[in-house]
């Protein structure tokens, strides 16, 4: 029998599986969409009304992943060396104190094999917000320089929020209660929550028509990434001064996250600041020139959500990624701002704590050289 075989997509039967959207976040591609096809066999010798409809199957529109696949969480293992050299001590100094931040293990990083090299006795102490501190005191110090070196091995894991990034295949686990939750709703010295800041934050979320906390945080993130430029020229940047950042519309990671954290807190969303060091994406070894900082915000629907607004501004292709994730190319040292150390310093609270801090006879002392180096110990887990 001579028959004509044709396959037609019947538009009334086409149904694409919808892309899920968590309120306030960009659509993320699903692994595939399903489009039912109908195979229609027409036999010209039979009445036109007669045709055999067969379900031919399903067309898969791929984005490169197989059904049910997950995106792996990457990790990086490396050795890190932190050296502080105190120099130019006054000849008549009676006491010199030195504090160095010490990284700690958490759900995103494991710190092992910590070794300290110091010409003087030292102590390791717990400080505010779960931070750890190395402290030493030298009585009647000699004018000659002295160095303290801290070495450790770290495994840093990519931090993805399981609600915002379901493709990671991570289970949403009940998080330990943060005892500092109320602190993350309060002002910092350079991030006040005055009427002007609250007004600016409300204008951002109102313009985006954001209703939920997640939508509000997304609106604030988009605003910061779109309106602040990563630019370390001139003066004023790097202090995390929200008024400077809002006026100059430029700065480094500290300035980006001052605006993000301040605006979140201004609309009632807990947000916290963390600081550490970045590592180049290329594996190897070398010197780390300076710090990097990032943020997290909290909603009941998502738990803590990682954010890196300055990296998103520098790399627009990863803008969606950095709302919900931190990559593995970093190591965290301390959390929070306006910090008191252990034992408490006699000077003012520290704006943030990543570089060594010293006092001589109870007064801040700035003559400290610092060097940071890393080398990778294992390839990336894939």
Tell whether the model's pLDDT for residue 376 goes beyond 70. yes
Q: How far is CA 361 from CA 96, 118, 343, in A?
A: 6, 20, 14
* The token pair that represents 207 in the structure block: 């313009």
DSSP bridge pairs for 332: 276
pLDDT, one tens digit per residue, over 62-82 is: 344 444 556 788 999 999 999
pLDDT of residue 69: 54
Domains of the chain: 4-62 (no CATH), 75-155+354-378 (2.60.40.2250), 163-170+178-327 (3.10.620.30)
pLDDT, one tens digit per residue, over 215-248 is: 999 999 999 999 999 999 999 999 999 999 999 9
Tell whether the model's pLDDT for residue 165 goes beyond 60. yes
Query: Rounded distance, CA 161 to CA 96, Å?
Result: 43
β-pairing, 292-299 vs 363-365, is unpaired
pLDDT of residue 319: 98
Arithmetic mean of pLDDT over the chain? 86
Q: How many helices (H) and strands (E) does the chain have?
A: 5, 21
Tell whether the model's pLDDT for residue 289 goes beyond 70. yes
pLDDT of residue 30: 41
pLDDT of residue 174: 67
Q: How far is CA 219 from CA 23, 91, 269, 314, 358, in A?
A: 11, 55, 13, 19, 40
DSSP bridge pairs for 286: 374
Torsion region of 303: left, alpha or beta (phi above 0 gives left; psi -120 to 50 gives alpha): left
**Residue for token pair 């932190």:** 82
- Phi, psi dihedral angles at 161 (to 5 degrees): -75, 125
Q: Annotate 227-294 with DSSP letters as a single string.
A: H-EE---SSSTTS--HHHHHHH-EE-HHHHHHHHHHHHHHTT--EEEEEEEE--SS-SEEE--S-EEE
pLDDT band, very low/low/confident/very high, at 175 (cuts 50, 70, 90):
confident
β-pairing, 250-251 vs 32-42, is unpaired
* The token pair that represents 335 in the structure block: 């959390």
pLDDT band, very low/low/confident/very high, at 6 (cuts 50, 70, 90):
very low
For residue 74, give the DSSP letter.
P
Q: How far is CA 117 from the centre of its chain?
A: 31
Contact 116, 157 (CB under 8 A): no
DSSP bridge pairs for 350: 339
Query: Rounded distance, CA 223 to CA 246, Å?
Result: 11
């Amino acid at each position: 029998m001579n028959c004509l075989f044709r396959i037609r997509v019947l538009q009334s039967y086409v149904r694409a599986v919808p892309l899920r959207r968590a309120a306030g976040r960009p659509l993320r591609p699903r692994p595939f969409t399903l489009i039912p096809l109908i195979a229609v066999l027409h036999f010209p010798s039979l009445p036109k009304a007669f045709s055999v409809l067969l379900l031919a199957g399903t067309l898969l529109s791929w984005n490169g992943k197989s059904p049910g696949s997950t995106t792996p969480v990457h990790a990086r293992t490396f050795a890190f060396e932190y050296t502080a050299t105190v120099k130019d001590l006054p000849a008549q100094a009676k006491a010199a104190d030195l504090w160095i931040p010490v990284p700690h293990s958490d759900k995103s990083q494991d710190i092992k094999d910590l070794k300290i090299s110091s010409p003087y006795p030292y102590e390791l102490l717990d400080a505010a917000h779960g931070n750890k501190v190395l402290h030493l005191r030298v009585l009647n110090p000699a004018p000659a320089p002295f160095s303290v070196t801290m070495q450790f091995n770290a495994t840093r894991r990519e931090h993805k929020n399981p609600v915002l990034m379901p493709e990671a295949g991570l289970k949403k686990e009940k998080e330990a209660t943060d005892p500092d939750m109320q602190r993350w709703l309060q002002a910092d010295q350079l991030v006040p929550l005055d009427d002007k800041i609250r007004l600016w934050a409300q204008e951002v979320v109102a313009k985006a028509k954001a209703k939920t906390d997640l939508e509000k945080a997304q609106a604030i993130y988009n605003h910061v990434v779109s309106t602040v430029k990563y630019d370390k020229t001139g003066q004023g940047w790097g202090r995390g001064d929200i008024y400077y950042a809002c006026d100059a519309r430029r700065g480094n990671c500290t300035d980006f996250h001052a605006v993000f954290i301040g605006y979140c807190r201004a609309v009632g969303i807990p947000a916290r600041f963390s600081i550490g060091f970045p590592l180049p994406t290329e594996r190897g070894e070398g010197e780390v020139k300076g710090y990097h900082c990032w943020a997290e915000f909290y909603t009941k629907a998502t738990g803590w959500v990682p954010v890196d607004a300055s990296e998103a501004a520098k790399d627009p292709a990863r803008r969606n990624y950095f709302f919900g994730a931190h990559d593995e190319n970093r190591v965290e040292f301390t959390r929070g701002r306006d910090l008191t150390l252990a034992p408490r310093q006699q000077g003012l609270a520290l704006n943030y704590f990543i570089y060594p801090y010293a006092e001589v006879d109870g007064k801040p002392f700035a003559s400290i050289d610092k060097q940071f180096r890393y080398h990778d110990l294992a390839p990336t887990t894939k």
